[in-house]
Structure 1
Amino acid sequence: MCSSPAPFGGEQWGLGHEGEHSRVPRGALPRLSRTAAPREPRSTCRRGGRGQRARGCAGNQPSSRDWGVEERASGHAQWGGGGGDGRGRRGDCCLFAAGPTRRHRRRRSAWRSRQVQLPQHHVGAPLRVAAARRRGPGSGGCQTPGRGQGSSGGGGAMVVITSARGGGGDRAPSRRRGCGLARAGAAALLAGASCLCYCRSLQGEFVHDDVWAIVNNPDVRPGAPLRWGIFTNDFWGKGMAENTSHKSYRPLCVLTFKLNIFLTGMNPFYFHAVNIILHCLVTLVLMYTCDKTVFKNRGLAFVTALLFAVHPIHTEAVAGIVGRADVLACLLFLLAFLSYNRSLDQGCVGENFPSTVSPFFLLLSLFLGTCAMLVKETGITVFGVCLVYDLFSLSHKQDKSSNGALCPRSPQQPRSDQSSSLPGHPHRENGKHQRFPHKGAWGGCHSPLPPEPKSSGFPVSPPAVWSMMRYLTASSNRNFLLTMRPFFKRAILVLSYVLVILYFRLWIMGGSMPLFSEQDNPASFSPYILTRFLTYSYLLAFNVWLLLAPVTLCYDWQVGSIPLVETIWDMRNLATILLAVVMALLSLHCLAAFKRLEHKEVLVGLLFLVFPFIPASNLFFRVGFVVAERVLYMPSMGYCILFVHGLSKLCTWLNRCGATSLIASTVLLLLLFSWKTVKQNEIWLSRESLFRSGVQTLPHNAKVHYNYANFLKDQGRNKEAIYHYRTALKLYPRHASALNNLGTLTRDTAEAKMYYQRALQLHPQHNRALFNLGNLLKSQEKKEEAITLLKDSIKYGPEFADAYSSLASLLAEQERFKEAEETYQAGIKNCPDSSDLHNNYGVFLVDTGFPKKAVAHYQQAIKLSPSHHVAMVNLGRLYRSLGENSMAEEWYKRALQVAHKAEILSPLGALYYNTGRYEEALQIYQEAAALQPSQRDLRLALAQVLAVMGQTKEAEKMTNHIVSEETGCLECYRLLSAIYSKQENHDKSYKAAVQLNPDQAQAWMNMGGIQHIKGNYVSARAYYERALQLVPDSKLLKENLAKLDRLEKRLQEVREKDQT
């Protein structure tokens, strides 16, 4: 005999023979404490007969601290873990199972068919209910000693309130610890997978858009102060109201870049590290979101997050530093979604919409959504996701939850006297359990619509629209506005807030939209509506294909990457139709289950997939790209949810062998995705690898050839650059920038001029083509035309600092100093962060006699760009000219710390030479000559130092070597003359001087003087006469000739005397 628990208050609370609820007087029921109900020792319980097995739990179990109702059946073991050992322990569900088997589904169906609900005022915590058929004494069932049967008849069922710990209560703490360890293990695996996939990117440099958003961004780069301009400029540092701005308003993302520089400088390692950390956080929060609001299954949530972590489509967003905008916006998107859900009453509310139980979390959701929008524009879509999720999902709580907990009856629901349909045993038909819906007061959490039959396909009957109409016109929802009042309040609040921030967004943009060129988005410039519609529709299917099969990935999909769809007979339209059918079926699935939605996987997957992609879909405004992989970062969450949900459903339909094959295929897919992600990270390591991969992946894309040519041009590989520029022009002949850059590499000025003019024909406001053509005309002495073109370049590019410098220098050459100074000042006003402009203005001030003013501009150039070694050298030369040698030496040495170059060593060596520090000068010049052995001036300066230090032979040898390479080196002959003079070889000295400059009268006169002293009067007269021809008015020459005449006369007299 197995003893049943003693009843509370001398009176059992159970079900009568006819299935009616027994009335219990108010106050008769005891207060539920946290101690289990007393029960007899388990050893007295007899096992049932042969074939009677313990039924295993097919669903998630309630918390071990919950109170529940436990089944005791004659001849059966207590509800246990599927092993039938009779110990009464609850079965633990597999956390990572893809879905229940058929046997488990039958058991779950039988279990749920016997669930009942306690009255509202007795529900203090989620309860677990089980009912068992009470057998008669002769059936071998359990008898209740001393209390009788409790309810008459063998068909009755007894329900006893006990602790949910049941017989296994002693194992609950370890189970909770196990769950915590499982969560921690899953989080560690996800973080590890994310880091392993992207750790290679830590070695990457600033590439592609990173250069413009960080390195060249005046709001971000080092030395730039933190100012309010961050909140008025776009992502690239331009004013939001300017015509050239892209209107990408992301101040919070820019602040993260600024914080990165403040903490770690311009080291790209730490920029990449922050991106990887953010990606790990997004992955973990996605797993938590799926576990709590989507699957209610840790295993499926883990697989979803793992698929998201390793998906190759995220490489651009994570490995590219500017992709931080997408990653951080996604993190804030998820947090805002979770906060919105947290603000609502998560309890069962029956036919009514949930009320707002936490205004704090609702306001927090608005704040986080706003932050997401200020990180990237797509963050604002979280508000639409929350409202639609609220309308379709939170408005309904099914009457039986997936973990076995019962929902309390809604307070607004009238109490019914109708008995609960709780049979004495599960009804069977053809040996299968049949499910009975709960009715009356015990089924308080039900939908007003008939229960939808379980089906593996999409519900097609009743149609979605009729389903919604039936709900809106149901008898229990006559007062529909009253029912939806909580939702209306939230919707009005959220929509009003969205309108306010949209108005702010338009205001900060200056009321204008960004201007894009045809090469950015060719379809948007098509004059045909059909072409635009078909192409935009196909691009949606193409983006979905990138999520499904990320085989071909590229950093840029512009200019011919995807040809336009211009006719309905294009075969690519089939992909568009297929996508439309799939999306329609998924939408109908959600609409048909309006207010009866038991599973939210499809709903959340659709919301996460569709809403974040709307801003990039060309639906409301033109975007500046054809396809951008980074914008799929947020929508990929919806894809991962739908993909894993589909796998789960498919796994439940397959037998064991098929399910095993499916799991193995999924693991293989995850490994392939991981491998692809690692390979894509290697592409993003450097500009060269990135641009070269674009040419290899999309050779028909003109933009990737143009970018690769720019890189080759910067590296000095001009022949390869010219080839790729011309390839880009073959693919897209209207590429004005390619024509302009090709002109800069052409040595033939006529051909270069032709390229510039063609570029201006295609784009008359191309400021760089105007600048280059102006400089070309300047070199051809067509200065007035050059001035006009340079002024136009400034007009169409007011932030182009090089145009100001070139125009000002041209005006200074014409001695129009006032206009030149005005040009410099206008340039500094429009380009206050241009270090080159400050440096050039300093040079202008030195040349015009204002050296003290120049000091301030040199220092400002160094402040804006701490690595500006040219400004440091100029400042050192200025201090040298002012006689402040110590300051000059300091600035030269600071420049050497930035860049150890020969052009910096040379002025420092000159300083040491002129101040008599010959040993230091010799060392500096030797270092400079080693860096640039072909530089003539450095070797000549080194020979000069050697000559001064007395090493005349080495100096003579080095100078003669220079003369043998360049016979027209005047400085070399002057140095040789000095060397010979020091060697007292005056003849060679002045011969070298004469070779240095045949028209140098002084050298001829000195050579005549040497011959004069030696007594070679004939040669001396010849040299004097040559010098006199050059300077006929030289008194010294005339005196020397007169002396020579007297000496010759005396010599003649002496000879005559000797002869006599």
Structure 2
Amino acid sequence: HLSGSRLRDLLHICSPFIKRACLISGYVVIIMSFRLWLMGGSMPLFSEQDNPASFSPHLLTRFLTYCYLLSFNAWLLLAPVVLCYDWQVGSIPLVESLGDVRNMATVLLAVAIVALCLHCVSSLQKQESREVLVGVLFLVFPFIPASNLFFRVGFVVAERVLYMPSMGYCILVVHGLGRLCSVVGRWGTTALSVSMLLLLLLFSWKTVQQNHIWLSREALFRSGIQTLPHNAKVHYNYANFLKDSGRHQEAIHHYTTALRLYPRHASAMNNLGTLTRHPEEAERYYRKALDTNPQHNRALFNLGNLLKSQGKEKEAEALLKDSIRFGPHFADAYSSLASLYAEQKRFPEANEVYLQGIENCPDSSDLHNNYGVFLVDTGEGQLAAAHYQKAVRLKPAHYVAMVNLGRLLRSSNENKEAESWYKRALQVTRKVDILTPLGALYYNTGRYEEALQVYREAAALQPDSTDIWLALAQVLAMAGRTKEAEKMTLGIISRQGSCIECYRLLSAIYSKRGNYTEALDALDRALQQNPSDLTVRAELHFSKGNQLREMNQLDRAFESYKLAVELKPDQSQAWMNMGGIQHIKGDYAAARMYYQRALLLSPGSKLLKENLAKLDRLERRLTGGA
């Protein structure tokens, strides 16, 4: 009867707690159900490197390791000496046998928890010290979701999950300190107070130290290597930072270290491939990564791009499709596959891939920009402008889209709008790729001083660029500063003797001065370079014909024009000039033939029609005279 009475008393005392526990449990169920709904009704997927214990095929290993991790987290609360931002991949070896000495820590924790629970039951019966129960509940319950008991978590140890349990820990420490102070007397209380103050100062110092570590990405990743040098993940993260910083040799070293510690690290293999200069070695790394993880969308993408550059288009297409299938929100894969289709003239398929990519990656500014380039190439300029603008809205610093939009506007002779977009891009960064199209705009619109200023800045940024110095010389020549232009062009030729455009510019400068012999010599020197492009050779022969005609060497001029049309038969101007020479020489039948050939190529040419009319009048006059 007495024990039943005690049981009723205990139930009476515990009933408020049970009600609150049920209420809170209901809240937890509702919140977790909402979270599952947000995640599409499925739990997140983790890899073996995220939580090796949960992937162990042995039940004993999983049980012992999970139990040891509880004691390890308890130790981190008691003595946060060794702290790291990431405890994955080998940071804590699995506990695989009962003989592992680390099981003693698990036993000690179990004894401590049982003792606390017994103390809580005793305190409830006596209706005193309820703070112990509150401390234990705060210590245990918030940690349960991170314990692997109900579902797999994506980490081994995560210091952040100790934030809520630390509240219970603090309550227990304060309660214990109060109990100790009540029994040790005045001097003992003083000693305990001083010790607690020193401990608080020590913990505060540790907090400041950790804050310094979190100030920068480099400091954080380097601290991980210093704290857990046997952790493959921290080496991989630090290698990623080094790769992004351009320190490729150091990055290769840490990727290699990560693979030595964890040979199945597919991402490290993939990233090593991106840093390798030799295509064969890069391909080997990519394929090795895919052997480890066939669904690694980055490795599929990189290998696909590599094979695409080697002309292996079918295999590249299959790999890029798989990259999209396993990473539907990876925008670069859509761009690469679409560009492959565009190169193969499969424009409808390329368009479909771009639209699919924009649907799945609506926030990708690069995808909108690349689609804009594709639309321009396929003659959809108006639609392209909208996508360039969308790219800039998504990423206000996307200067490439700004330059592309400027070029598009320039092609429509909307020079003011084009100039404003170029200048907006220059507000983001001062790059040659922005300065040169702006300089070309100024040059083509007769604003030579502004063009000179822009090209000089470009030349200062990229002093080894022949194209920039040549453009600068062309602007000087058009601005009437022919001596400076000549000196600059000769300087380019002294550095690079095979500059065909330089000789053409020199010819134009000499011709402008009336030095036709020097102009002709410059063109001959350009032809001596034997350009492989037939169009360039045709244009040089055409220019040479013009110079010879200016020098009244009509027969030689005719031969040059003839060589030009043999190389490039669609040069209507050359055909017309050949007709003009025959016209002057009185061979009207040949002149008519050449004029008519030119008219087929340029049916709207007024000059050709006038020349044919003159020819008709001459022939009628001659016929009438006969």
- TM-score with structure 2 length normalisation? 0.84
- Alignment partners' CA distance in 1, 2:513 and 2:298: 57
- Alignment partners' CA distance in 2, 1:554 and 1:979: 69
State the match for 2:448 in structure 1.
918
State the match for 1:941 in structure 2.
471
- Alignment partners' CA distance in 2, 1:924 and 1:831: 37
1:929 aligns with 2:459: yes
Give the letter aligned to residue 165 of structure 2.
Answer: P
Change in CA separation of 1:977 and 1:646 when aligned onto 2, cut-off 3 Å? farther
State the match for 1:893 in structure 2.
423
Alignment equivalent of 1:691, drawn from 221, 228, 238? 221
- Alignment partners' CA distance in 1, 2:543 and 2:379: 39
Query: For 1:512, what is the secondary structure of its paired residue?
Result: coil
Query: For 2:457, what is the secondary structure of its paired residue?
Result: helix
Alignment equivalent of 1:666, drawn from 173, 196, 205? 196
- Alignment partners' CA distance in 2, 1:994 and 1:636: 86
> In the TM superposition, what is the alpha-carbon distance from 1:679 to its structure 2 partner?
1.8
State which drifts further: 945-954 or 1020-1029: 1020-1029
Task: Determine if contact 1:1004/1:1024 at 8 Å carries over to the other structure.
Answer: no
State the match for 2:607 in structure 1.
none
Change in CA separation of 1:713 and 1:968 when aligned onto 2, cut-off 3 Å? farther
Instruction: After superposition, give the CA deviation of every residue in 1:523-574 in whole Å (9 maximum; x if it has no partner).
Output: 1001111111111111111112222222221111101111111111112112
State the match for 1:837 in structure 2.
367
Query: For 1:633, what is the secondary structure of its paired residue?
Result: helix
- Alignment partners' CA distance in 1, 2:460 and 2:439: 14
Task: Determine if contact 2:545/2:560 at 8 Å carries over to the other structure.
Answer: no
1:858 aligns with 2:378: no
1:992 aligns with 2:519: no
Change in CA separation of 1:642 and 1:1006 when aligned onto 2, cut-off 3 Å? closer
State the match for 2:283 in structure 1.
753
- Alignment partners' CA distance in 1, 2:412 and 2:68: 70
- Alignment partners' CA distance in 1, 2:386 and 2:5: 79
- Alignment partners' CA distance in 1, 2:44 and 2:437: 49
Give the letter aligned to residue 219 of structure 2.
Answer: S
Give the letter aligned to residue 551 of structure 1.
Answer: V
Instruction: After superposition, give the CA deviation of every residue in 1:684-704 in whole Å (9 maximum; x if it has no partner).
Output: 112112112212221111111
- Alignment partners' CA distance in 1, 2:542 and 2:396: 54
Give the letter aligned to residue 676 of structure 1.
Answer: K
State the match for 2:134 in structure 1.
604
Give the letter aligned to residue 857 of structure 1.
Answer: H
Where do residues 808-827 of structure 1 align in structure 2 (5 Å cutoff)?
A: 808-827=338-357
Change in CA separation of 1:962 and 1:634 when aligned onto 2, cut-off 3 Å? farther
Structure 2 unaligned spans of 5+: 531-536, 586-626
- Alignment partners' CA distance in 2, 1:944 and 1:1030: 24
Where do residues 235-384 of structure 1 align in structure 2 (5 Å cutoff)?
A: none
State the match for 1:722 in structure 2.
252
Query: For 2:98, what is the secondary structure of its paired residue?
Result: coil
State the match for 1:115 in structure 2.
none
Give the letter aligned to residue 474 of structure 1.
Answer: R
Where do residues 404-803 of structure 1 align in structure 2 (5 Å cutoff)?
A: 473-474=5-6, 477=8, 493-803=23-333
> In the TM superposition, what is the alpha-carbon distance from 1:522 to its structure 2 partner?
0.4
Task: Determine if contact 1:1005/1:1037 at 8 Å carries over to the other structure.
Answer: no
Task: Determine if contact 2:539/2:564 at 8 Å carries over to the other structure.
Answer: no
Query: For 2:125, what is the secondary structure of its paired residue?
Result: coil
State the match for 2:618 in structure 1.
none
> In the TM superposition, what is the alpha-carbon distance from 1:1037 to its structure 2 partner?
7.2
- Alignment partners' CA distance in 2, 1:905 and 1:559: 48
- Alignment partners' CA distance in 1, 2:2 and 2:398: 74
> In the TM superposition, what is the alpha-carbon distance from 1:949 to its structure 2 partner?
1.8
Give the letter aligned to residue 760 of structure 1.
Answer: L
State the match for 1:268 in structure 2.
none
> In the TM superposition, what is the alpha-carbon distance from 1:928 to its structure 2 partner?
2.5
> In the TM superposition, what is the alpha-carbon distance from 1:737 to its structure 2 partner?
0.7
Change in CA separation of 1:708 and 1:586 when aligned onto 2, cut-off 3 Å? same
Alignment equivalent of 2:509, drawn from 970, 979, 986? 979
- Alignment partners' CA distance in 2, 1:499 and 1:1009: 88
Change in CA separation of 1:717 and 1:977 when aligned onto 2, cut-off 3 Å? farther
Give the letter aligned to residue 206 of structure 2.
Answer: K
> In the TM superposition, what is the alpha-carbon distance from 1:920 to its structure 2 partner?
1.7
> In the TM superposition, what is the alpha-carbon distance from 1:519 to its structure 2 partner?
0.3
Give the letter aligned to residue 925 of structure 1.
Answer: Y
- TM-score with structure 1 length normalisation? 0.51
> In the TM superposition, what is the alpha-carbon distance from 1:982 to its structure 2 partner?
3.2
Give the letter aligned to residue 825 of structure 1.
Answer: L
Task: Determine if contact 1:616/1:623 at 8 Å carries over to the other structure.
Answer: yes
Change in CA separation of 1:968 and 1:644 when aligned onto 2, cut-off 3 Å? farther
Task: Determine if contact 1:1008/1:1021 at 8 Å carries over to the other structure.
Answer: no
Task: Determine if contact 1:807/1:823 at 8 Å carries over to the other structure.
Answer: yes
Give the letter aligned to residue 211 of structure 2.
Answer: N
- Alignment partners' CA distance in 2, 1:637 and 1:932: 60
> In the TM superposition, what is the alpha-carbon distance from 1:503 to its structure 2 partner?
3.6
- Alignment partners' CA distance in 2, 1:571 and 1:977: 88
Alignment equivalent of 2:400, drawn from 870, 883, 901? 870
1:849 aligns with 2:379: yes
- Alignment partners' CA distance in 1, 2:165 and 2:492: 68
> In the TM superposition, what is the alpha-carbon distance from 1:1029 to its structure 2 partner?
6.2
> In the TM superposition, what is the alpha-carbon distance from 1:953 to its structure 2 partner?
3.0
> In the TM superposition, what is the alpha-carbon distance from 1:613 to its structure 2 partner?
0.9
> In the TM superposition, what is the alpha-carbon distance from 1:899 to its structure 2 partner?
2.5
> In the TM superposition, what is the alpha-carbon distance from 1:716 to its structure 2 partner?
1.6
The structure with more radius of gyration: 1
- Alignment partners' CA distance in 2, 1:724 and 1:487: 53
Task: Determine if contact 1:710/1:721 at 8 Å carries over to the other structure.
Answer: yes
- Alignment partners' CA distance in 1, 2:385 and 2:546: 49
- Alignment partners' CA distance in 2, 1:704 and 1:777: 31
Query: For 1:646, what is the secondary structure of its paired residue?
Result: helix
Change in CA separation of 1:1028 and 1:527 when aligned onto 2, cut-off 3 Å? same
- Alignment partners' CA distance in 2, 1:484 and 1:1004: 104
Structure 1 unaligned spans of 5+: 1-468, 1045-1060
> In the TM superposition, what is the alpha-carbon distance from 1:502 to its structure 2 partner?
3.9
Greater per-residue helix proportion? 2
Task: Determine if contact 1:838/1:861 at 8 Å carries over to the other structure.
Answer: yes
- Alignment partners' CA distance in 2, 1:822 and 1:746: 33
Change in CA separation of 1:594 and 1:665 when aligned onto 2, cut-off 3 Å? closer
Query: Greater relative contact order (Cα 8 A, min sep 6): structure 1 or 2?
Result: 1
Change in CA separation of 1:853 and 1:751 when aligned onto 2, cut-off 3 Å? same
Give the letter aligned to residue 335 of structure 2.
Answer: S
Query: For 1:622, what is the secondary structure of its paired residue?
Result: coil
Task: Determine if contact 1:590/1:597 at 8 Å carries over to the other structure.
Answer: no
Instruction: After superposition, give the CA deviation of every residue in 1:91-123 in whole Å (9 maximum; x if it has no partner).
Output: xxxxxxxxxxxxxxxxxxxxxxxxxxxxxxxxx
- Alignment partners' CA distance in 2, 1:854 and 1:1011: 46
> In the TM superposition, what is the alpha-carbon distance from 1:905 to its structure 2 partner?
2.1
State the match for 2:604 in structure 1.
none
Change in CA separation of 1:696 and 1:987 when aligned onto 2, cut-off 3 Å? farther
- Alignment partners' CA distance in 2, 1:518 and 1:654: 51
Residues paired across the two proteins, number: 571
- Alignment partners' CA distance in 2, 1:865 and 1:781: 33
Change in CA separation of 1:995 and 1:594 when aligned onto 2, cut-off 3 Å? same
Instruction: After superposition, give the CA deviation of every residue in 1:932-974 in whole Å (9 maximum; x if it has no partner).
Output: 3333333322222222222333333333333333333333332
Change in CA separation of 1:702 and 1:997 when aligned onto 2, cut-off 3 Å? farther
Give the letter aligned to residue 321 of structure 2.
Answer: K
RMSD between aligned alpha carbons? 3.1
> In the TM superposition, what is the alpha-carbon distance from 1:471 to its structure 2 partner?
6.5
